[in-house]
A and B are shown apart, each in its own frame.
Chain A
Amino acid sequence: MIGSFGEAFRLIFSGDSTLYQIIAVTLRMTLTSSLLALLIGVPIGTWLGSARFRGRKVLVVIDRALMGLPPVVCGLFCYLLFSGVGPLRSLRLLYTLAGMVIAQVMLLCPMAIGMMESHANNAAPRIRENTRGLGIGRFRTLLLTMNESRYHIATTFLTLLGRALAEVGAVSIVGGAIMFKTNVMTTAIMDYTSMGNFKTALALGIILLFLSLALNIIVALIQGRFEK
């Protein structure tokens, strides 16, 4: 086991092109999907948490149910949409990075909405009381509420990125884990483990852990900068 770790570290620093290509595909996919989910989820979640209207709680319950959507179910849904018999077959998204991003955005959006909703639900009443007192309109109040949630948005992004990095079910169904095209770190770990290539699988696992650590450090630095 310890020997495998040593070999994994040697592989990381050996400049193995396959390994770096898998990392590059993973980062492209996860960063794109997390950013898109954030862009969609932050305004919707903030609005859902701030607004008071009939049916709001129903929408919140639906979102929470979607937050628990199993990735394989999402992958299957996307597969059916993109496959040869699906309504979006003409877009040729199956086994492409774009298709994987769409599947991940579908998984991550409810999370982004839910995280922002719960935050805005707590923060909004005080903000709304003050903005209404000043005669500031609803749209500007929404923008101000989002501005007030900047730390939470950074935390939400980190959570989305972590979920996207660790996700395997949806991307393996939609992407097909095609080497040099749609194989990401999680699907590659599965492939290498099933092939008995523990050295590469472990190397990818270590990199995943370091990426997660690095992301946490970056967000902590950003938050520290904001607090100044």
Chain B
Amino acid sequence: MILPALKKAYQGQIVLDIPSIEIADGSIVAICGQNGSGKSTLAKILAGIEKPDTGSSIDLSARSDNDATITKRYTVGYLPQQSYAFHMSVRSNILLNKDPKKTAQENAAQAETLLKKIGLESMAKKNAKKLSGGETQKMALARLLMKPYDLLILDEPTASMDTASLPTAEALIRDYQGRTGCTILIITHSAEQAQRLASQIIHLEDGKLA
């Protein structure tokens, strides 16, 4: 998979200016950098939330067997930095992202499995608005992992979680990658987390590749 060359400026100030980057299909890639390095802008552009000034967002190019660059439309899942809890139960929140290829029972079972794995099983009936920041982030991660994507973009997926929850969340991400074979881009400011999870680490500094 090739992430396209992208350029983005806000009010004349360039916040992202990167060349195309080749990443291995089915791998976990970490994008690291300080605050304001352009990590979240990159995530939003790749997820199609924001439009780049130059480059493409959702249509990421892929290489075919004969190495000729072709364009393929990937399904992209994106977890924003600020997770959102909808005004309904935790279980209903997770079931908002049902896999259309599965039956209602299969989706319900998948939701229960994810609730259990992420440690929110006892809160399944609770109004999601009542969750703490860390719990909301866990729920949002579980919600995103309900169905398979070709590319998953996680923007600081564990930033609000306590240290005890980190191994669980990271195991869930690894498990999802192993199960679906998707490519995962994880935005993190933690070098340790990048080392633990990723096979490739991309460093950004002032919107450019470091």
Instruction: Name A residues whose Cβ lies closer than 8 Å to a Cβ of B.
Output: 126-130, 132-136, 144, 147-148, 150
Contact = CB atoms under 8 A, between A and B. Distances in A.
Contacts of A129: 44, 49, 78, 80, 82, 84
B84 A132 contact: no
A133 B77 contact: yes
Contacts of A127: 84
Given A126-B82, A129-B49, A130-B140, A135 B87 contact: no
Contacts of A136: 96-97
A75 B48 CA distance: 47
26 contacts: A126-B82, A126-B84, A129-B80, A129-B84, A130-B83, A132-B48, A132-B49, A132-B78, A133-B49, A133-B77, A133-B79, A133-B80, A133-B144, A133-B153, A134-B77, A134-B96, A134-B97, A134-B143, A135-B75, A135-B76, A135-B77, A136-B96, A147-B86, A147-B88, A148-B86, A150-B87
Top-9 shortest CB links A-B: A133-B78, A130-B84, A129-B80, A134-B97, A148-B87, A126-B84, A129-B49, A133-B80, A132-B49
Interface string B127-142: 0000000000000100
Contacts of A144: 86, 96
A148 B75 CA distance: 27
B90 interface: no
B84 to A, nearest CB: 4
Interface residues of B, number: 23
A94 B86 CA distance: 46
Interface in B139-157: 140, 143-144, 149, 153
A128 B78 CA distance: 12
B47 interface: yes
A147 B87 contact: yes
The A contact surface, by secondary structure, is helix
B82 to A, nearest CB: 6
Contacts of A148: 86-87
Given A130-B80, A135-B97, A148-B87, 12 more contacts: A129-B44, A130-B83, A130-B84, A132-B48, A133-B79, A134-B78, A135-B75, A135-B149, A144-B86, A144-B96, A147-B86, A147-B88
Contacts of A150: 87
Interface string B27-58: 00000000000000000100111000000000
A196 B49 CA distance: 65
Given A126-B84, A144-B86, A147-B87, A134 B144 contact: yes
Contacts of A126: 80, 82, 84
Contacts of B88: 147
A128 B84 CA distance: 10
A150 B127 CA distance: 14
Given A126-B84, A147-B86, A147-B87, A133 B96 contact: no
Nearest to A134: B97
B57 to A, nearest CB: 11
A127 B85 CA distance: 9
Given A126-B82, A127-B84, A148-B87, A132 B47 contact: yes
A223 to B, nearest CB: 13
A135 B78 CA distance: 9
A51 to B, nearest CB: 15
Contacts of B79: 133
Interface in B171-202: none
Nearest to B143: A134
A132 B46 CA distance: 12
A165 B70 CA distance: 64
A147 B88 CA distance: 9
Contacts of A133: 47, 49, 77-80, 144, 153
Nearest to A145: B86
Contacts of B76: 135
